[in-house]
Amino acid sequence: MSLIRLRRERKKQWIDKKAGWSPRRLTILLIMLIAAMWYLGVGF
């Protein structure tokens, strides 16, 4: 029983870690997208 609980806690921590990473990645993706659109806009 405690093993299942431990596994669940680990999974929750992993999800929290992933959630912590997400906004930064999204920001980087957004900046790259805007830069690409601006580059294409200037190019054409």
The model carries a pTM of 0.43
- Residue found by looking up tokens 């299942």 in the block: 4
- Cα–Cα distances (Å) from 14 to 22, 31, 41, 43, in that order, read 12, 26, 40, 42
Does residue 43 have a pLDDT over 60?
yes
CA-only gyration radius of the chain, Å: 19
In the numeric block, which tokens belong to residue 28? Answer: 């980087």
pLDDT digits (tens, 9 = 90+) for 2-42: 777 878 887 777 766 666 667 777 788 899 999 999 988 88
pLDDT at residue 33, as a whole number: 93
Residue 30 is given by DSSP the state: H
